[in-house]
């Protein structure tokens, strides 16, 4: 199973909005509404930020939002804050009853 495709890096200034894309196929992202996003700060474990395309777990700020169109999912962070600087990973359930991750995107808040 090939990894989902994410940009290696994105950047933005405090207060701005950024969007991270995650491209898969009809066998994963396009086939189910089971797309998830994780945030990982250096040296820390990943943290679930979005589940099932657009739902936020309790405690995740509403500045984080998710969406999906066809085989591509997106994570948007509005009102960027310095603490948002981290790596972000998307993941999806697949037709093979497995989970696949994206390669990760490093967000830099300038």
Partner 1 sequence: EIRLLESGGGLVQPGGSLRLSCAASGFSFNTYAMSWVRQTPGKGLEWVSTINNPGSSTDYADSVKGRFTISRDNSKNTVFLQMNSLRPEDTALYYCAKGGARWTYFDYWGRGTLVTVSS
Closest distance to partner 1 from the beta carbon of 51 (Å)? 5
Q: Contact letters (x/-) for partner 1, 30-69, by CB under 8 A?
A: ----x-x-x------xxxx--xx----x------------
Which residues 6+ apart lie within 8 Å of 24 measured at CB?
A: 4, 5, 30, 71, 72, 73, 92, 100
Q: How far is CA 87 from CA 31, 91, 104, in A?
A: 25, 13, 6
Residue 7 vs 46, nearer CB to partner 1: 46
Q: Residue 85 or residue 87: which is nearer to partner 1 going by CB? A: 87
**By CB under 8 A, residue 19 contacts partner 1:** no
CA–CA gap between residue 97 and residue 40 (Å, rounded): 25
Size of site (CB under 8 A) for partner 1 = 23
How is 86-97 classified by DSSP, letter by letter?
EEEEEEEE-TTS
Site residues (vs partner 1, CB under 8 A): 1, 3, 34, 36, 38, 45-48, 51-52, 57, 89, 91, 93, 97-104
């Amino acid at each position: 199973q090939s990894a989902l495709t994410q940009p290696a890096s994105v950047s933005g200034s405090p207060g701005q909005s950024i969007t991270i894309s995650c491209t898969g196929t009809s066998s994963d992202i396009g086939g189910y509404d089971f797309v998830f996003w994780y945030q990982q700060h250096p040296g820390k474990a990943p943290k679930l930020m979005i589940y099932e395309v657009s739902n936020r777990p309790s405690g995740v700020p509403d500045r984080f939002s998710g969406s999906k169109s066809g085989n591509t999912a997106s994570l948007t962070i509005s009102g960027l804050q310095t603490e948002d600087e981290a790596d972000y990973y998307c993941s999806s359930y697949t037709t093979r009853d497995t989970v696949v991750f994206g390669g990760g995107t490093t967000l830099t808040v300038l």
